Amino acid sequence: MATESSPTLGFRIYLIITLAYWAFTLTDGAIHMLVVLHFHKLGFSPIAIAFLFLFYEIFGILTNAVGGWIASRIGLNRTMIVGGLMQVFALGMLAMDPSWLTVTYVMTAMAISGIAKDLNKMSAKAGVKLVTPKGADAESLLFRWAAILTGSKNTLKGAGFFLGALLLQLFGFQLTLAALSGTLLVVYLLAWWALPCGMGMARSKAKITQIFSNNRAINALAAARFFLFGSRDVWFVVGLPVFLQSVVGWSHVYVGSFLALWVVGYGLVQAGAPLLLRGRWHPNGGTARNVAFLLAILPAGIALALQLNDDPTLALIIGLAAFGVVFAINSSVHSYLILSYSDNDKVAMNVGFYYSANAAGRLTGTLLSGWAFQTQGLTGCLWWSAGFVLAAALLSIMLPKESQPTGAAP
């Protein structure tokens, strides 16, 4: 790409990708909080709420599996725009008459949203690799740009949690979704005009059978990613918000605000990971392993604190803060490593494969969150989380101790 010899142009495209991704992420956070809180209010059980997200996660897995292959053939700019417009459609589906909102209908809308989200994420993350200027500082710059994109995305997702809960209370379910859909449509029409054509297209047409990586480091990283994100969602998606409402007694806005604050802080730590991890230095597989072993201690500690303390509020606030900091650093290291392990010509396919494992972990965690909370309570969810993080740490032992050099430009 021309961007590699033009740092200014590379940064401009990076900024366009980031801004469009931010707008999408606000709606993604909002739709999650809207669905959880609205359908809990309607009397849905935790397992039933979890199943509303079933197709969201399943289709996310499938989208990531083939999305990188599609992007390598038509360009990352097109897959990103298609994802944004699909989210507009999904939000519009949910803004229809309340009598339409059967379980099947909502699951279908969430499936479309899941496809949209993962097309956008894959396109944005792979795009960072392509627009990072080459040079002696390329790896450190890649780590910083990937961390900023990922961290700011999660900060905006937390803002979306708060926005969804606030607008739900102020304006109701349908009107909120209609407003979000219209705003996102304007953003992605502008991005369609601004992004260059053909970004990320491979020099040779990849075969569909090449969506599975034969790189040992990428396979190990994808497996670790599966368990890392399963460890978060097994207690965060259903168990925690329902616990805060039904046991602690918080309102919609309190729950949304608290979870939003956590995700915002998590995103800020993720964006600042390069500074926390020695400034211009960039991490390796050993970093991912060490941080994962540290993370495994935290959900187990929260579970023990809940079992030994009659007042869960303090244990949850302190435990969530610690878990968020360490989880954010671990996730940021993963986001850098998948780009570092990929050459430019295969980055879209490798990122798609990696995020397919990420989506599979979220699906597993989401389903376990509903079942474990209903049968074992929040402490059961946390013990599952500790086991998942330990699995991620053990898999990270297989990652290379030294970062692999980035590939040549196409």
Question: DSSP string covering 25-86, please?
Answer: HHHHHHHHHHHHHHHHHTT--HHHHHHHTHHHHHHHHHHHHHHHHHHHHH-HHHHHHHHHHH
The H or E element that residue 264 is part of is helix 252-271
Give residue-wise pLDDT tens across range 151-206: 777 778 778 877 887 888 888 888 888 999 999 999 999 888 877 766 655 555 55
Q: Which of 202, 200, 274, 203 is nearest to 4 (CA)?
A: 200
**What is the CATH T-level fold of the domain 2-202+210-396, as seen in this structure?**
Growth Hormone; Chain: A; (1.20.1250)
Residue 194: Cβ-neighbour burial (10 angstroms; 0-12, 13-18, 19+): middle
CA angle 287, 291, 295 (to 5 degrees): 165
Six-digit token string for 6? 């033009």
**Domain spans in the chain, listed from the N-terminal domain onward:** 2-202+210-396
Tell me which residues of the chain have a pLDDT lower than 50: 1-5, 405-410
Q: Which three-class secondary structure state does DSSP give residue 406?
A: coil
Per-chain mean pLDDT for the chain:
81
Q: Which of 41, 23, 91, 44 is nearest to 256 (CA)?
A: 41
- Say what the pLDDT of residue 195 is: 77
- Say what the pLDDT of residue 240 is: 87
Six-digit token string for 333? 């290291």
First to last CA, the chain: 7
Q: CA-CA distance, 358 to 52, in Å (whole number)?
A: 19
